Amino acid sequence: MKHCADYEALLKICESRRSTRTFDSRPVPEEIIERIKKIAHTSPYASGRKKWDMIVVADREALAAMRMAVDRRTGEIQDKIRPDMKGSFDAYARNFSFFATAPAVIALVFRAAPSLSLMLPEPDGGILQWERDNYVKSISCVAMLVLLAAESLGLAGCYVTGALIAENEIGRLIRIPQGWSIGALIPIGYKAGGNNDD
C-alpha cells in the first residue's frame, strides 16, 4: 500500500499549505533552496519547451529596491484611480510589496518563445496570445511545485503576482534575460512566530 502512503503524504502537504505573508528573519539555507528548485525542475511544460528559469533573490538591498519599485508603481497607479475606488485599490494593493520582507524570493521567469506564430505568413494576435498563455501555464505549474516543496520542507511561501505591476523595473533589478518575463514572485521563509523548522 505504498502508493496510498504517498498519496496521504501529498494530501497532507497540500492541505497544510497556506499563503503566508509574514516571515521571521531566519535565513533560508542555500541547500534548502536547492532542494526546492530540484522539485520545481520536475514540472511539466507546454509544447515540450522548457523556457523558464528561477532567480533567487536573498540580498536585502536588492529586495528593498524591488519593494521601492513596486511602491513607486503603486503610487503612480493610485494617482489614476477613481476617487470612489481609492479605498478598494488601497486594500487590494496592500499585499503588493510584502514579498520583500521574506528572507528569500524566488522569481519565476519565462520566455514566450515564438514558434507557430513564425510559421504563419502574417501575424495572428490570437496565436501570439495562445503562445504566451502556454508559457504562463507552464510557469504556473512550476509555482505550485515551489510552494509544495517549500511546505514539505517546513517553510512557507506565497504566490505573488500583484508586485508584477512593476515587472519591468523588477526585471531590470534582478537582471532577467532580454526578452524574458516574470511569471510570479514566491517569497519563501519560516512563518513568523511559528515552530515549523523542526
Partner 1 sequence: MTIEAQLRNSLLPVFGFHSTEQIPEDASLVNDLGADSLDFVEIVYLIERDFGVVLKTNELMVAGASVDPDTLFVEGRLSEEGASMLNQQFPDSNGRFKAGMTKVGFFQSISVRDLANIIRQRTSEMRKPC
Q: Taking CB under 8 A as the rule, which mask of x and - marks residues 90-109 in contact with partner 1? A: --------------------
Counting contacts by CB under 8 A, is residue 48 touching partner 1?
yes
User: What is the rounded distance in angstroms from the CA atom of residue 83 to the CA atom of residue 86?
Assistant: 5
Neighbouring CB atoms inside 10 A of 38's CB total: 11
Q: Taking CB under 8 A as the rule, which mask of x and - marks residues 162-191 in contact with partner 1? A: -------------x-xxxx-----------
Counting contacts by CB under 8 A, is residue 49 touching partner 1?
yes
Q: How many CA atoms lie within 13 Å of 161's alpha carbon, on the beta-carbon side? A: 6
- Three-class secondary structure of residue 113 per DSSP: coil
Counting contacts by CB under 8 A, is residue 16 touching partner 1?
no
- Three-class secondary structure of residue 139 per DSSP: helix
Counting contacts by CB under 8 A, is residue 137 touching partner 1?
no
Q: Taking CB under 8 A as the rule, which mask of x and - marks residues 113-132 in contact with partner 1? A: xxx--xx-------------
Residue 64: CB minimum distance to partner 1, A? 23
How far, CA to CA in Å, does 196 sit from each of 6, 39, 124, 153, 158?
21, 20, 50, 9, 16
Dig out the grid coordinates for 196 from the structure: 515549523
> Which phi and psi (to 5°) does residue 195 adopt?
-125, 50
Residue 177: CB minimum distance to partner 1, A? 4
Residue 56: CB minimum distance to partner 1, A? 16
The smaller minimum CB distance to partner 1, of residues 75 and 177, is found at 177
The smaller minimum CB distance to partner 1, of residues 131 and 151, is found at 131
Residue 33: CB minimum distance to partner 1, A? 20
Terminal-to-terminal C-alpha distance of the chain: 28
From the number of C-beta atoms within 10 Å of its C-beta (0-12, 13-18, 19+), residue 49 rates as middle
With contacts defined by CB under 8 A, name the span among 16-24, 42-50, 98-106, 165-173 that binds partner 1. Answer: 42-50
| Footprint of partner 1 (CB under 8 A) | 47-49, 51, 53, 111, 113-115, 118-119, 175, 177-180
